Amino acid sequence: MTLLRDFLEDVKALLGEDKIVTDPWLLIGYERDYWPLAVAMEYTGKWDPEPPKVAVLPTNEEEVVQILELARRHGIPVVPYAGGTGVLGGALPLRDSVILDVSPLDDYGWHDKDSMIVYAEAGVPLIDLEEWLNSQGYTLRHFPQSYPTALIGGLIATKSIGQYSTGYGGIEDIVLGLHVATYNYGLVRIPPVPRRSVLWSLKHLYIGSEGHLGIITRAYLQARKIPECSVPFSLRYNSFKEALHSAMKLVQQGTPPELLRVYDELESQSMLGESGSLIIGVIEGPCNEVDARISVMENTLGRGLGDSEPALRWLEERFNVIPKIRDLAEMGLAFDTIEVALPWSTAYTAYKETIEKLMEQEGIIYASAHASHFYLSGAAIYYTIVFELGKLASVYNKAWDIIEETSSRHRGTISHHHGIGVHRLKWLRLEYDDNTLRLLKDLKKLLDPDGVYRDESIK
């Protein structure tokens, strides 16, 4: 506590007292992120986290660097907080740690309008940036599930992906440059350029790094013109296997829709009120090109694109998640969503095996999936599981084991876009062999020799 007290005195001299939060009631907001396990345990009164002692709120990049330098000097671990919309406990406070909340870093604007490059500090809400761009005829076209509340820094640190990823890619395809605050290298600046071939890709070192190697303070992002035409559609199939195969054909024929989602039979019914296995999508671009692409897609599938109503209904309701969580809790239920990615050759087999094993577990009352991000080589499979709250402790990790181990055995990844946080650390050995894990650990030690950045995580 003496080290923390001395650290706070130095930070107070740097920021002023009004940028330091020590009130226990105000610190409650930093006790968890949106990790479903934490949310469920909080609802049942069993959530007993290590409460943060203090949060600091720097207002510019230089202050972030100085706080990190002070943390190293005093031996204080720092946990970055950028909206708290992660779902794997990555923002949970550590014992005797300091929360560094980047939300006051909220400046954004044009870096180079002719090149459609915007800059945004780490605390900028994505929705604010998108609406500002929309008012001028531009867009990022990045719409993750956390869109209404996500901050730019958190999206980049967790390697976010959006609902239109099949057409526009993930956050890594939007980020052109970064600023990263470190205690041993000062402010690392990676200028935005169309493409760079200069030794290592430092930009990609920090995208998805989850605060382990430094704190992202600013990003340079590629905007684009708002599409002239946007055409929603739906297709109904008898089975998820058949629908998934059609999605593969759409992607591999070269002109897939910008948004593409494939629901299994259970999710088609429970989430969209439709029978069979439903595909919904949106095709965007210049109107004449959209018309031509629709013809190509229909020729590829040997059928016309269906009506737009299910897709329009999904677009209207897609961010309305919180009321559904509350409804489940009132029924004594909890949920989680777990995303993996698999090659086309094994995706359906892995899905089928996973669902069968999940439904064998006592305490799981519902298990379904959809595919929502697509590549020439495969797709992301996104599982939804509903548990009995009273049996959460006995079945939660078992469900995760089933999904992660089945994906790994079928040549898939353990995480497509939610990242690792603290919860997924236990499955890292499914993803990488011993040599690769040693490389990750050595890289962490090299860039964080004093253990300032979330030092409990990768060891």
Specify the CATH class of 2-101 in words: alpha beta
Q: What is the pLDDT of residue 409?
A: 98
Q: Which CATH architecture has domain 229-317?
A: 2-Layer Sandwich (3.30)
Q: What is the pLDDT of residue 111?
A: 98
CA distance 145 to 261: 14
Q: Which residues of 250-283 are buried (b: 16+ CB within 10 A; e: fewer)?
A: bbeeebbbbbbbbbbbbbbbebbebebbbbbbbb
Please name the amino acid found at residue 406. T
User: Hey, what CATH topology would domain 108-225 get?
Assistant: 3.30.465
DSSP 183-227: SSS-EEEE---S---SSS-HHHHHTT-TTSS-EEEEEEEE-EEPP
Q: What is the pLDDT of residue 390?
A: 87
User: 257: which residues sit within 8 A by CB, 6+ positions away?
Assistant: 166, 167, 233, 250, 281, 282, 283, 284, 293, 297
Q: What is the pLDDT of residue 42?
A: 86
Q: What is the pLDDT of residue 431?
A: 97
Q: Does CATH number 3.30.300.330 belong to domain 322-421?
A: yes
With residue 61 as reference, give the H or E element that holds it: helix 61-74
Q: What is the pLDDT of residue 44?
A: 82
Mean pLDDT by 10 residues, the chain (459 residues): 82 92 91 89 83 92 97 94 92 87 98 98 98 98 96 97 97 98 98 96 96 97 98 97 98 94 97 95 96 95 93 92 80 93 98 98 96 98 94 91 98 97 95 96 94 71
- Which CB contacts under 8 angstroms, 24+ apart, belong to 158-162? 158/86, 158/90, 158/208, 158/210, 158/417, 158/418, 158/419, 159/207, 159/208, 159/417, 159/419, 160/417, 161/373, 161/416, 161/417
Domain ranges (residues) in the chain: 2-101, 108-225, 229-317, 322-421
Asked whether this chain's domains 229-317 and 322-421 adopt the same fold, the reply is no
Q: What is the pLDDT of residue 117?
A: 98
Question: What tokens does 66 get?
Answer: 């100085």
Q: What is the pLDDT of residue 1?
A: 60
